[in-house]
Amino acid sequence: MGIDLNKMRSKYAKLNNKGASSDDRFWKPQEGTQTIRIVCPLDGDPFRDYLYHYRLGADNNVTFISPRTFGKTDPIAEFGNQLWNEGTEESKKQAKDLFAKQRFFSPVLVRGEEDQGIRIWGYGKMAYEKLLTIVLDPDYGDITDPENGNDLKLMYGKLPGASFPRTDIRPRPRKTILCDDAVGGDERCAELLETIPNFDDLFERKSSEEVQSVLDQFLASPNGNSEVEKYGNNSSSGGSGNAVEAAFNDLLNA
């Protein structure tokens, strides 16, 4: 049996991908065009949305899911509301920096990188709205169907003069199976479907007390604004970023 050149290309691309996430459960599109297939978990929902806080903590390097995502109290969100209710332009600007942002995630199989299994793709609201439009279009049906679904053509990059990259998504019209013979057939497909990362394990869930601690660190740090600090609760500090936070931080720049 000869060397698998597709695997070698994948390894080489990963080696030279300086912007790759440090957690291989995540996938970030590269500039250009790639083809993906959204894979549906057993609960029937391939689209997960989270509220997150970004670049907080003592060194502005802590990214984490807001407890509000799981129905818990979020001291940072409450603090942001206090600032917003002050009603000044400066306090509203500071509040916006502290409000949680919404981010969406889906399990995907990247064509040409099937050997890396199913990974999690993080994207913004515009891409999410586009995906829902495709999913609800009766001309396509269930695009995640393993036997009769649709791959998606994803075009990612900055337009001339733009500050941030843009994601354009188009469904490929031809129906295809998730795993053809080149990928390993039905047996490999069954194995792949068992590798969908568990969303409950992807991100650390901080308690309300831990979130308060992150806020305290931020306010007490040189990066914290002195005008903002007067609202803070200077309790004991604790908590820090980890490898998953670093991977998430990388995804947020997609």
Domain assignment present for residue 137? The answer is yes
- Taking the chain, what is the end-to-end CA distance rounded to the nearest angstrom? 38
Domain assignment present for residue 11? The answer is no
Domain assignment present for residue 233? The answer is no
Domain assignment present for residue 246? The answer is yes
Three-state SS for 152?
strand
The CATH number given to whatever domain includes residue 174 is 3.90.198.10
Domain assignment present for residue 172? The answer is yes
Host domain of residue 66: 22-205+242-254
| Both structure tokens of 249 | 């931080």
Domain assignment present for residue 176? The answer is yes
Residue of 119, 112, 178, 118 lying closest to 143 (CA atoms): 178
The alpha helices in the chain, defined as continuous H runs, are 5-15, 75-86, 89-98, 125-135, 185-193, 199-202, 208-220, 226-229, 243-251
Per-residue pLDDT of the chain (254 residues; tens, 9 = 90+): 466 555 555 555 444 443 334 578 899 999 999 999 999 998 899 999 999 888 776 667 778 889 999 889 999 999 999 999 998 999 999 888 889 999 999 999 999 998 888 999 999 999 999 999 999 999 998 999 988 999 999 999 888 877 788 889 999 999 999 887 655 556 777 777 888 888 888 877 888 999 998 888 888 876 655 444 443 443 333 333 344 444 444 555 45
Domain assignment present for residue 2? The answer is no
Q: What is the pLDDT of residue 145?
A: 93
Query: Structural domain tally of the chain?
Result: 1
Domain assignment present for residue 33? The answer is yes
Q: What is the pLDDT of residue 12?
A: 52
